Amino acid sequence: MTNTLQTMRKISKTKNKGALKKTLKPIYRSKVKKFTLRDSNSLEWGTALKPAFQDEQSNVRIYSGDCVDVLQQIAKAEPNGCIDTIFADPPYFLSNGGISCQAGKMVSVNKGTWDKSRGADLNHEFNRKWLEACQKVLKPNGTIWVSGTAHVIHSIGFAMQQLGYKILNDITWVKPNPPPNLSCRYFTHSTETVIWAAKNINSRHLFHYHEMRRMNNGKQMKSVWPILPPATQEKEFGKHPTQKPLELLNRILLSSSNTGDLVLDPFMGSGTTGVAAVQLKRKFVGIELDSIYINTAVKRIQQAERMPRHEQLPLAQRLF
């Protein structure tokens, strides 16, 4: 078991071996807003953690590295948990030579070595490892949301049960205009699942039932959510192959967190969770291996910080 975990850690870190050596270099060239690395002694979580980006005014921190390593350091500093809400978009293990359709053209679905399947056992061991690390940093009543397709979501659900999470809902995110199935041998893939779970069976989880009902024209909100893919403006500073729409993250945070809560994304990507957190006045911690996506996330978050308050609010809040 130990050798297997070491192998998974080595694979995860090798993913961006070259990029990690230059993690901070491209960030300093950001044209949006200059920022500097903070003195480690000023960090609440001790000298072992140095954020690649920190904005004290908006309560945003971004760490570059393996999420399990960073989460373990946070857990040491906060043994009772400090995170209110987690959104995680882990690898789906889909980059195995398949094809898809984009803008009417056949394209590869390969996203990088980090998304390659290593087999069911190793994939599940990886999922259990990071989910266990997330569970340790959650507050007693904290909750976690994890997205995935059929390739990974069943492993996620099983790992949660093994670790003692309390599964609350499985949300079906429906994509109204999905890419066609080119082989014509399967139904068109048009959904993703988002599992919502509490830290353990004793958790008294937060749910803004009345807010969700108000957003749904006075009716109970169902667990099927039709939401369009990310809008063009959400990719202004660069594209991420698995980017989630801002509307999805806004709804998640509105339903299960309060103003001032601490939100964490262990697979931050291009920073959609951070943008939603800034818009909704939540604190945010992001973890990401790839310096290119860290740079994109910083630009997006800084743009959200500069927007007038009425433009920051999600569409649902502006309409009601």
Tens of pLDDT, residues 73-129:
999 999 999 999 999 999 977 756 454 445 555 554 555 575 677 888 999 999 999
130, two tokens: 């990071």
pLDDT of residue 102: 57
Stretch 208-224: mean pLDDT: 97
pLDDT of residue 184: 83
Stretch 157-178: mean pLDDT: 95
pLDDT of residue 169: 98
Which residues, at least 6 apart from 223, have a Cβ–Cβ distance to it below 8 Å?
169, 170, 171, 172
Q: What is the pTM of this model?
A: 0.80
Stretch 219-246: mean pLDDT: 90
For the domain 2-126+134-140+148-319, what is the CATH superfamily, name and number?
Vaccinia Virus protein VP39 (3.40.50.150)
Q: How far apart are CA 150 and CA 257, in angstroms?
A: 27
**pLDDT over 90 (residue 166):** yes
pLDDT band at 309 (very low <50, low <70, confident <90, very high): low
Other CB atoms closer than 10 Å to residue 17's CB: what's the count?
Answer: 9
pLDDT of residue 151: 87
The CA–CA distances, whole Å, from 229 to 107, 185, 190, 260 equal 18, 24, 11, 28
pLDDT of residue 239: 79
pLDDT of residue 131: 98
Question: Which residue type does 272 have?
Answer: T
pLDDT of residue 186: 84
pLDDT of residue 10: 47
Q: How far apart are CA 256 and CA 203, in angstroms?
A: 13
- Fill in the DSSP letter of residue 315: H
Contact between residue 289 and residue 69 where contact means Cβ atoms under 8 Å apart: no
Which residues, at least 6 apart from 191, have a Cβ–Cβ distance to it below 8 Å?
172, 173, 174, 175
When the pLDDT of each residue in the chain is averaged and rounded to a whole number, the result is 82
Residue that has been written with the tokens 């980017």 in this structure: 243
The CA–CA distances, whole Å, from 285 to 19, 57, 156, 159, 275 equal 21, 14, 22, 23, 11
**pLDDT over 60 (residue 216):** yes
Closest of 144, 149, 150 to residue 167, by C-alpha = 144
Stretch 46-75: mean pLDDT: 90
56 or 115: which leads in pLDDT = 56
**pLDDT over 60 (residue 270):** yes
180, two tokens: 């066609």
